[in-house]
C-alpha cells in the first residue's frame, strides 16, 4: 500500500507531470493515483486549462515592453520563493531558461503547488515556441499535446496539433478505455497531458490505461486518432464499427456528440 501516493503528494507533482519533466518513478505514482482519485483528476484538469487562460496576460506583458537587461536572480529562482504575483513581467528568454534548468536538474524533490503553477505559466508563455524551436527527435521530455479544432465535412471537430481528427469510442467510459491491443494499434490513444489550444472549450482530463500510460480525455471521452486517416483534415473513422463498438469524431462547438 502507499504505492499510489497521497493526494497532497500527488498534487505537488501535477505541475511537473503536466510539463513532462517529472521523474519516471514519480510519474508512475501519479498515474496510479489519478486512476483511482477523481478529485486529483479534477485538479489535473484545472491545471491543464491554465495555459489557455494565461495566454492573454503573457501577451499583455510583452506589449508592456520587457526590460533589456536580464534579471540575474532567476537562475536560482527554483530554490527560493517564486514571485508568482509578478510572473507575467518575466521575459520569454528567462522563462525558457528556467524551464530548461529545472528539467536539467530533475532531482527528486517535492515541488510546492505554487511552483507547479508557476511552471505552467512558463509553458503558457514559451511552450509552443519551445516545441517549434526544438529539432525533431532531440530526445527532449514529452510536452503536452495541444488540442486544436478544424472544419471537417462541415463540422468543427477536435484535432491534434497536426490537424488529425480525434475520436471517441462508444464502449469507453470516463474512467476506462475499452480499446486495447490490436484496437489501440488501429486507434492510437492520445497521450496525456493535453492542453487546450486557441478556441477550444470543454473539459480536459486523463485516464490511466491498463499498461500504465495516461490517455487524454475530452468532456469525459478518452481520445484517439485513427490510422485510417492518412493526412490531416480527414475523418475516415467517423461512424466506423471496430474493436467492439462505434467510433465518433469529436464534434466541438455544437454541443456533445451523439451516442
Ligand atoms: Zn487524490
Cα radius of gyration rounded to whole Å, the chain:
19
**Which of 133, 153, 181 is where one domain is finished?**
133
Q: Is the domain of 35 the same as that of 120?
A: yes
pLDDT digits (tens, 9 = 90+) for 223-233: 999 999 999 99
Q: Is the domain of 115 the same as that of 152?
A: no
Q: Is the domain of 64 the same as that of 31?
A: yes
Residue 59 has pLDDT above 60, yes or no: no
Query: What is the rounded average pLDDT for all residues in the chain?
Result: 73
Residues 6+ away with beta carbon under 8 Å from 251: 155, 156, 157, 158, 257
Identify whether 139 is part of a domain: no
Identify whether 203 is part of a domain: yes
Q: Is the domain of 108 the same as that of 43?
A: yes
Split at pLDDT 50, 70, 90, the class of 167 is: very high
Q: If you average pLDDT over residues 107-117, what whole number do you get?
A: 45
Identify whether 138 is part of a domain: no
pLDDT digits (tens, 9 = 90+) for 15-54: 888 777 888 888 888 888 888 888 888 888 877 766 544 4
Identify whether 254 is part of a domain: no
C-alpha cell at 241: 464499427
Nearest alpha carbon to residue 198 among 126, 128, 120, 122: 128
pLDDT digits (tens, 9 = 90+) for 73-101: 444 444 444 444 444 444 455 545 555 55
Identify whether 80 is part of a domain: yes
Q: Is the domain of 129 the same as that of 149?
A: no
Q: Is the domain of 115 the same as that of 222?
A: no
Identify whether 255 is part of a domain: no
Q: Is the domain of 153 the same as that of 126?
A: no
Higher confidence at residue 159 or residue 211?
A: 159
The count of domains in the chain is: 2
Residue 105 has pLDDT above 70, yes or no: no
Q: What's the 195 CA to ligand 1 centre distance in angstroms?
A: 21
CA 147 – CA 166 distance, rounded (Å): 9
C-alpha cell at 249: 469524431
Collect residues with CB below 5 Å from ion ligand 1: 7, 37, 40
Q: What's the 60 CA to ligand 1 centre distance in angstroms?
A: 35
Identify whether 258 is part of a domain: no
Q: If you average pLDDT over residues 104-111, what whole number do you get?
A: 45
Identify whether 222 is part of a domain: yes
Q: Which long-range contacts (CB under 8 A, 24 or more apart) does 225-228 make?
A: 225/160, 225/164, 225/165, 225/166, 225/167, 225/187, 225/188, 225/190, 226/164, 226/165, 226/167, 226/186, 226/187, 227/185, 227/186, 227/187, 227/188, 228/186
Q: Is the domain of 126 the same as that of 25?
A: yes
**Which of 76, 108, 133 is where one domain is finished?**
133
Q: What's the 2 CA to ligand 1 centre distance in angstroms?
A: 12
**Which of 72, 105, 133 is where one domain is finished?**
133
Q: Render 10-41 in DSSP notation, one character per residue.
A: HHTTHHHHHHT-S-HHHHHHHHHHHHH-HHHH
Q: What's the 115 CA to ligand 1 centre distance in angstroms?
A: 19
Residue 136 has pLDDT above 80, yes or no: no
Minimum mean pLDDT range among 120-134, 153-167, 172-186 = 120-134
Q: Is the domain of 125 the same as that of 181?
A: no
Residue 246 has pLDDT above 60, yes or no: yes
Q: Is the domain of 88 the same as that of 196?
A: no
Q: What's the 42 CA to ligand 1 centre distance in angstroms?
A: 9
Nearest alpha carbon to residue 180 among 256, 112, 242, 137: 242
Q: Which domain holds residue 222?
A: 145-249
Helix (H) / strand (E) containing 145: strand 145-152
Residue 19 confidence (pLDDT): 76
Which residue has cell 517564486? 82
Q: Is the domain of 45 the same as that of 100?
A: yes
Q: Is the domain of 46 the same as that of 91?
A: yes
Amino acid at each position: 500500500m502507499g504505492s499510489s501516493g497521497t493526494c497532497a503528494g500527488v498534487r505537488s507533482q501535477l505541475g511537473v507531470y503536466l510539463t513532462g519533466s517529472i521523474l519516471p518513478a514519480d510519474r508512475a505514482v501519479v498515474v496510479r493515483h489519478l486512476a483511482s482519485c477523481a478529485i486529483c483528476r479534477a485538479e489535473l484538469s484545472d491545471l491543464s486549462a491554465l495555459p489557455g487562460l494565461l495566454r492573454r496576460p503573457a501577451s499583455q506583458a510583452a506589449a508592456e515592453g520587457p526590460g533589456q537587461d536580464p534579471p540575474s536572480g532567476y537562475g536560482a529562482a527554483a530554490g527560493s520563493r517564486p514571485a508568482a504575483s509578478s510572473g507575467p513581467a518575466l521575459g520569454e528568454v528567462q522563462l525558457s531558461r528556467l524551464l530548461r534548468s529545472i528539467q536539467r536538474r530533475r532531482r527528486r524533490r517535492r515541488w510546492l503547488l505554487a511552483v507547479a503553477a508557476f511552471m505552467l505559466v512558463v509553458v503558457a508563455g514559451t511552450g509552443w515556441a519551445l516545441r517549434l524551436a526544438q529539432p525533431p527527435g532531440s530526445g527532449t521530455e514529452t510536452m503536452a499535446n495541444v488540442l486544436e479544432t478544424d472544419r471537417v465535412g462541415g463540422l468543427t471537430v477536435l484535432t491534434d496539433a497536426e490537424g488529425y481528427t480525434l475520436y471517441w469510442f462508444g464502449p469507453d467510459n470516463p474512467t476506462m478505455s475499452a480499446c486495447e491491443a490490436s484496437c489501440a494499434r488501429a486507434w492510437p490513444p492520445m497521450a496525456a497531458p493535453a492542453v487546450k489550444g486557441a478556441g477550444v472549450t470543454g473539459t480536459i482530463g486523463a485516464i490511466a490505461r491498463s499498461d500504465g500510460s495516461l490517455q487524454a480525455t475530452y468532456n469525459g471521452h478518452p481520445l484517439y486518432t485513427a490510422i485510417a486517416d492518412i493526412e490531416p483534415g480527414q475523418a475516415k473513422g467517423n461512424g466506423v464499427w471496430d474493436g467492439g463498438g462505434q467510433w465518433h469524431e469529436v464534434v466541438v462547438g455544437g454541443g456533445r456528440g451523439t451516442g
